[in-house]
Amino acid sequence: MCGIVGIFARSYVNQTLFDALTVLQHRGQDAAGIVTSEGNRFFMRKDNGLVNEVFRTRHMKRLVGNLGIGHVRYPTAGSSSSAEAQPFYVNSPYGIALAHNGNLTNAEQLADDIFRADLRHINTTSDSEVLLNVFAHELQQLGKLNPSPEDIFAAVAKVHQRCQGGYAVVAIITGYGVLAFRDPHGIRPLVYGQRIVNGQAEYMVASESVALDTSGFAKVRDIVPGEAIFIDRDGGLHLQQCTQQQMLAPCLFEYVYLARPDSIIDGVSVHESRMLMGVRLAEKVLKEMPNHDIDVVIPIPDTSRTSALEMAHTLGVTFREGFIKNRYIGRTFIMPGQTQRKKSVRQKLNPIASEFKDKVVMLVDDSIVRGTTSKQIIEMARDAGARKVYFASAAPEVRFPNVYGIDMPTASELVAHGRTAKEVGDYIGCDWMLYQDLDDLKSCVTQLNPAITAFDTCVFDGQYVTGTVDRAYLDRLEQKRSDDAKNPLNNADPDADIDSDTSADLHTRIE
């Protein structure tokens, strides 16, 4: 997962882009980048690190212009070196900068086609650079010195025909405007909003509505699957459906874990959907253990707090905060490498012993992926004096890798792959393991928006909605995503010791 944002304004957009990326930081902590445009020139800054680490005052001063796009990244396809930071840029045609959230499942074939047929060179292993070159080629094929919005939409339609997978995209075409589009299945989220400044409209597109809220933009609506939005340099808004075959199938894991609770995705409040997840879990407890002996429900902060609170309320059981979270440790799910994840869990959470001593505790988490975090947390609860430790997951068993933009581990590294719920419980050391049912999880979203009739549920059931994922692709993915492949000793960055201001300070003006 990554976070993207694009803005057209009547004044400089650098600070608004920075603010938007800051509230999207949960979607990627590996790298951040901004490109702005003034006249016919681009200004770029990108590097590894958090938003407030990558952008200093000296960088912000150079990011001039009233058009801009931004990106926060964590590694999905490609490495974690600064060379993979987005946005990417090509100078032909016109000059295009692009940032992307998602994953192309046919990126390798496209890269080969681009080289052999389109005569374009791909400089990184990122599928985002592939997507950019596909779009640039299709736009160039039109042969227009001054492309119209219809020409740009025609190029997007060609992208949809060539690219497979999940993707939400923002781009700037130098001298023309800001473009954004969403894949034909709407797997990755994308929303746009408007604000009025001195009687004139300004626009923002972003991965989540919370980016609009914090910058004073009123949400207009989600970009629908296959649709593109283009804001020209004069502020004209253009929208067009760019594919004849589209079906809304948003990623169900967005509601469980990825998105902020104060976001609204495809008409569904993430917060309210997580409340319903807690209710459904409580109903399952009452069904499977009507005479339960739970004394207290304790969430694993932060994502599961909403579900845990509603679960406790429905059960009529005390809710307590039992773990204190270190705010300065990143999300362990998106830390590359098992060793780093194991080390960070103890640094991230510390139990309040009095909430556990001599109690039967129901711990609630949003999901269980590798089981690393869960196992250590249960050990903490027992060390703090819990008499019994039950564990509930607001999501069903995660048994399959994601291929549409979430860097799920390989199947063999998923704790639930090939195990029953009881076997998972035994492995992580709890007295009772409770998973959400997939149909119940779906209902937590569809109850809030009945218009959503399909989801990307591949991590739970191995069903890939694009219909283009085969065993060979999954095998190649496993080679790239395993913890061994991500071991920094096996994948040393030759530039790792070079000062970032000289090796990756890409704020240089592109003319």
In one-letter notation, the amino acid at residue 98 is: L
> Is residue 113 marked as binding?
no
190 and 60 part of one domain = yes
| Residue 422 within a domain | yes
Token code pair at residue 5: 């944002």
Within-domain flag for 153: yes
The domain of 128 spans: 3-247
Give the pair of three-digit tokens for residue 213. Answer: 């809220």
Q: Are residues 156 and 240 in the same domain?
A: yes
Catalytic residue among 2, 251, 444, 458: 2
Is residue 2 part of the annotated active site? The answer reads: yes
Q: CA 209, CA 215: separation in Å to the nearest integer?
A: 10
| Crossing angle between the packed helical segments 372-383 and 421-428, to the nearest 10 degrees | 60
391 in any annotated domain: yes
Asked if residue 439 lies in contact with residue 399, where contact means CB atoms within 8 angstroms, the answer is: no
State yes or no: 383 annotated in a binding site.
no
Residue 87: inside a domain:
yes
pLDDT band at 330 (very low <50, low <70, confident <90, very high): low
Return d(Cα 435, Cα 419) in angstroms, integer: 13
- pLDDT on residue 83: 77
Q: Which residues lie across from 351 on neighbouring strands?
A: 323
Q: How far apart are CA 259 and CA 504, in angstroms?
A: 29
DSSP string covering 232-248? ETT--EEEEE--S----
Average pLDDT of the segment spanning 48-72: 97
The sign one gets for the Cα dihedral 254, 204, 74, 166 is positive
Paired strand residues for 387: none
* 405 located within any domain: yes
238 and 138 belong to one structural domain: yes
Residues 360 and 215 grouped into a single domain: no
Give the type of residue at 424.
V
Q: What is the CATH number of the domain that holds 233?
A: 3.60.20.10
Asked if residue 240 and residue 288 are part of one domain, the reply reads: no
Q: Verify that 88 and 223 share a domain, yes or no.
A: yes
| The predicted structure's pLDDT at residue 84 | 86
Q: Is 295 annotated as a binding residue?
A: no
Residues 243 and 292 in one domain: no
Cβ burial 39-61 (10 Å sphere, 16+ → b, else e): eeebbbbbbbbbbeebbeeebbe
Shared domain for 185 and 222, answered yes or no, is yes
Same domain, 42 and 161: yes
What's 350's domain CATH number? 3.40.50.2020
Question: What's the pLDDT tens digit per position in 361-373?
Answer: 999 999 999 998 8
Please state which of the ranges 69-83, 173-187, 202-216 shows the lowest mean pLDDT. 69-83
Query: In terms of domains, do 243 and 285 share one?
Result: no
In the predicted model, is pLDDT for residue 275 greater than 50?
yes
Q: Identify the CA nearest to 330 among candidates 17, 72, 19, 102.
A: 72
Which of 265, 329, 303, 337 shows the shortest CA–CA distance to 101? 265
DSSP summary character for residue 217: P
pLDDT, tens only, 86-118: 999 999 999 999 999 999 999 999 999 999 988
In degrees, rounded to 5, the angle at the alpha carbon of residue 470 between the alpha carbons of residues 72 and 444 is 55
Q: Is residue 488 part of a domain?
A: no
**Would the pLDDT of 446 be above 80?**
yes
Distance between CA atoms of 315 and 335, rounded to whole angstroms? 35
**Residue 285 and residue 149 share a domain:** no
Please give the tally of structural domains in the chain.
2
Q: Are 43 and 65 in contact (CB under 8 A)?
A: yes
Does residue 141 sit in the same domain as residue 284? no
> How much is the pLDDT for 74?
80
In a domain, 485, yes or no: no
Alpha helices (H) along 28-96: 51-54, 57-62
Q: Is 374 exposed, middle or buried (0-12, 13-18, 19+ CB in 10 A)?
A: buried
Check whether 452 has a pLDDT greater than 90.
yes
Predicted pLDDT of residue 479: 79
pLDDT given at position 348? 85
- 480 located within any domain: no
> What share of residues in the chain are helix, strand, coil (percent, to 5)?
35, 25, 40
